[in-house]
Each structure stands twice: as C-alpha cells, then as structure tokens.
Amino acid sequence: MNVNTIHDPISLKKPVATIGIFDGVHTGHRFILDHLRKRAAELNGDSVVVTLWPHPQVVLNRGLPKFRLLHSREEKFRELEKSGIDQLVIVPFTMEIASLTACEFAKQYLVDRLGIHVLMVGYDNRFGRDRKGDPDGLAPCAEQHGFRIEKLPEFRSKWGRISSTTIRESISEGDLVKASRMLGYDYYLAGTIVEGNRIGIQMGFPTANIHPMDPYKLIPMNGVYAIRAEMGGKVYGGMMNIGFRPTLDSSSAVKTIEAHLFGASGDFYGEHVVVHFVKRIRDEMKFRGMEELKTQLGKDMDLVKKILE
C-alpha cells in the first residue's frame, strides 16, 4: 500500500476510490474495502482509500474533551494496509475543507487531484457541508465532472448495526468481547512503559505501568482485564488493571494502566508495548488490606490464564 497526502504528486491508473474516516477499520469498513478492491481489479484500476486526518470532530471541537478515537494515525494506516488496497490518500482536514459542499470537495480533491474513475459510496455514507456526499446527492456532480458513482450494498452483521460509535460505546462500557466481534480483532492500545511505585513487586505481582502513545486514544472502562501484550518481539499473556488503585492510593485522582505479564522479567522502562484486550473480568475494587488484595490477584491470574487458553 502506497501512502500519500492529497498534495503529493500521485500517478494513479483508473482510480476506483472510496472516502471515509475508517476509525477502527472494523468489519463494516472491511466489507467496503473488499468491494473496493474487487471492483478495482475488475476495471484494471487502482483501489484508493481517501481518508481525513485529524478526525473532523477534533478539528471542529465537537464533543471534546471527552471524544476519543479507536485508532491513532499509525494504527489506522496499519489496519488499512491489511485490507490489500493499492493506495491510501490522506486529506489533512481543516476548517476550510469543512466549509466545502460534497460536490466542491469531489471536484477539487477527487477529480482534479486524483482523477477518479469510480467513486464507491456506502449506502448510508454522507460527507460535505451540505451532507450530500451520498449516491443520490452526488449523482449530478458525477455527471458534470465525468466520474461514476457506485452505491455499495448494506453490510449486515449478526451482531447488529456496526459503527465506530457503537464500538466506542462497547469499549467504554467494558464489553471488550462485543467490541472484538464488531472490530474483527481484539481492541489494542500502544504505549510506553514508565516507572511506577514498585508495590506490585512487593506482593509478587510486578506490573508494567503503561503511558498511552496517543492522547486521543480510547481507554477501556476501569476494571481488570485479560490481555495479550506484544513487547520486544515477544507476546505475553497477562492481566491489566485500569483505574485509581483504591486499596493502594485511596486519595489518588490519577488513573493508572498497569499490566502484570506472565513470564516476563527484567526492567522494561522505556519499552514500547502493544496491549490487546481479550476480556474484562471484574470491576476495580477496594480491599481491606494488602493481603486481601494479593489473594484476589491470585484468583484473577488463575481466571485470566483459563480465558487466554
């Protein structure tokens, strides 16, 4: 997959394109991407995904500061590459672009800069200031500027309607199993291991404290999770606590993300880690003391190992 911005000189062959945010690159997105790739092959053209970055809600300041993303920029690119498309074109989203109608955007960016042959549009997809970036709304524009519109069929899933919004809701509610079904893979979080207070070592459960790489990355609901972690070329099973550690830091207002990785040993400060969430196993709880907490952690570890098996 070649990656360019819309301002780069790009040579495309009969480009068959689609446009979207693609946050999470979930099963609904991959349905679109599969159709795009197959249609481009039928026409002997290039499959092209046009995406906007930063996310429009960040630029337009909608829903901030609570709005969060399923993917960082790099994560989105990695998942899109897995789909087998030929070209990824990034449009740097600005207030100026937000002011364009669907046809103005199509003319300036898709026609003049990419020379699109076919634009494939999801059945419920809309873009542009006038929200006419759908098959019916774009039909006159396509006729005027010499490209074809092809409407994609509705994606039907046994899990119900799938969207980035519904996946964010599931993750925020701690239902990582449901989120994984809609995504088609386990939700993951990339970060750097930073120094903690070393209390876990004293209890026999050393933890890696993780600082997320992207400030807009969605962090799952507080609680304890079964995870798999990629670090240093290895994959570790483990358990993670997200929250305020009420037994240890009852007055702390700082949320922590701590992972106990099975079989890992050594000093990992500064290491890059990618945590894949498998299942939430319980709420974060306050215990009467360290011994009670230690007993519960032992039970958690037994349960997590069964889940990961």
Question: Domain coordinates of the chain in residue numbers?
Answer: 2-151, 186-308
Q: What does the pLDDT look like over 162-217, one tens digit per residue?
A: 999 999 999 999 999 999 999 999 999 999 999 876 565 655 578 889 999 998 99
**Which class for 10: exposed (0-12), middle (13-18), buried (19 or more C-beta within 10 A)?**
middle
Task: Give the integer Cα–Cα distance in Å for 149 and 229.
Answer: 43
In this prediction the pTM is 0.91
Tell me the CATH class for 186-308. mainly beta
pLDDT tens sequence across 232-250: 999 999 999 999 765 555 5
List pLDDT tens digits, range 71-89.
999 999 999 999 999 999 9
Q: From CA 231, how far away is CA 265, in angstroms rounded?
A: 12
Q: Tell me the mean pLDDT in the region 258-271.
A: 90
Helix, strand or coil, per DSSP, at residue 275: strand
In sequence order, which residues have a C-beta less than 8 Å from that of residue 65 and are 6 or more positions away? Answer: none
State the pLDDT confidence band at 61, using cuts at 50, 70 and 90: confident
Tell me which CATH homologous superfamily contains domain 2-151: HUPs (3.40.50.620)
Please report which residue ranges of the chain form alpha helices under DSSP H: 27-42, 56-59, 73-82, 95-98, 102-105, 135-145, 164-172, 176-183, 199-203, 290-308
**Chain center to CA of 68:** 10
Sheet of 118-121: strands edge to edge? Answer: 2-5, 87-92, 47-53, 16-20, 118-121, 148-151
